[in-house]
Amino acid sequence: MPTMPFFPRFYSVLPKSNRFDYSLIKNNRRKARKNNLSEEVRMKSKPVHAIRDIYPWKNKQQFVDHLAENVIYNKDGLIAINKPYGVPLLKNGLVKGTNESLFSIEEALTPLASLLNVEKLLPAKMVERFASGVSLFASQEKVVDKIRQSYITNKAKKIHTFKYLAVTIGEPKPSSSRGTVGMGFFEHQDVEGKLLAIMKDYSNRKVADGLVREFRVNYKTLSRGEEPCSLVEIDVSSAKNHFLRVYLAHLFSPVLGDHIFGNRVQEIMGKRLAISPLQADNLSIFQKIPTEILTRLKVTESGIVPNCLHLSQMTLTKFAGQDSNLVLRADPPPCFQYICRAFGLDLPTDESVVLSYV
């Protein structure tokens, strides 16, 4: 078999690969992996916008765990939870969308009861869907009855059951007040149905006939931040039928993010003026939030701003005994705190549960 001739010149023209070249490639790959890892860590550690991530849970178990982490009281069959914003009680109240909760309280009751080592959870008093704060559950029917009895006692003794915090556009006029307020219906021939409105003059007969409902209210401005927002504290006997939203709009300071009644005050020629509910409630799908507010919140759409209403305290008279009231308190959610920081509004700091003696 003939041997292959050897041509030194042929080998001399082959590309040379030395150890330096391989080391360089290896080092470059190592740097690339390190850079990619750093980018992943940076993305994971990047702070999430509090308004754009109102619902941090991605599955049902995370949602149940979130509720369990926000239990503020669990004793003698009464469970109080700091309900997150935007979560409905019933499953049929869910709305599909990019900025909507994936789950309802109803869906979490059974697994949450198991997690809290109670037989069942009965919703006793829930804060409205588009608000956050103290919500009550009971593990027994008799506890639900006991809660109702506390409400009856509060009404008889004229004790305000609820204390809310609200971020408003502008400051209420006057900045503080105490008294009884009537809310009824604004009717117009061009409108189908009735629009809620604060009644300045009404008779006892209208109250008796259910045409006007009275609310005991005590409010004050807690903090005046950088224009144009304020932090308001409201003690109220009841918050049914969106009373607080309607009332604060009536005071020239609508709740920030109130996409139902928030357009009843508009800035016209540099002045904030009240406009007719007939015009305001059909002005826009969302509240027309001033550009300077959106810029400070680092958002571009009014519709993404949550209704800044938080039930921070609930008082159950004689619930803990004949001589003591149970006062439950809940901190505002991250989105509410973020908005307060954005405008330099100082939130009050309180203990979560207090027994007050009478």
- Residue 73: partners with Cβ closer than 8 Å, 6 or more residues away: 79, 80, 326, 328, 352, 353
The tens digit of pLDDT for each residue in 269-299 reads: 777 888 888 778 777 789 999 999 999 999 9
pLDDT at 124 over 80: yes
Going by their DSSP bridges, the two strands 271-274 and 265-268 should be labelled as antiparallel
Name the strand (E) or helix (H) holding 106: helix 105-115
> What's the pLDDT tens digit per position in 336-346?
999 999 999 99
Q: What is the mean pLDDT of the chain?
A: 84
Set out the domains of the chain in order of their start, with CATH numbers. Answer: 60-357 (3.30.2350.10)
pLDDT attached to residue 191 = 65
pLDDT at position 116, please?
Answer: 95
Q: Is the model more confident about 208 or about 16? A: 208
Q: Alpha-carbon torsion 23, 26, 32, 34, what sign?
A: negative
Asked whether the predicted pLDDT for residue 2 surpasses 50, the reply is: no
pLDDT tens digits, 47-104: 678 898 899 999 999 999 999 999 999 999 999 999 999 999 998 877 776 678 889 9
Rounded Cα distance between 84 and 127, Å, is: 10
Q: What is the DSSP letter of 255?
A: B
For 292-347, the DSSP string reads HHHHHHT-S-GGGS---EEEEEEEETTTT-TTEEEEEE-PPPHHHHHHHHHTTPPP
Q: What six digits make up the tokens of 106?
A: 């109803």
Statement: the pTM of the whole predicted model exceeds 0.85: no
Does residue 29 carry a pLDDT above 80? Answer: no
Q: What is the per-residue pLDDT across 144-193, written as a single tens digit (0 to 9) for each?
A: 999 999 999 999 999 999 999 999 999 999 999 999 999 998 777 766 66
**3 state SS of 185:** strand
Q: Identify the DSSP state of 241.
A: G
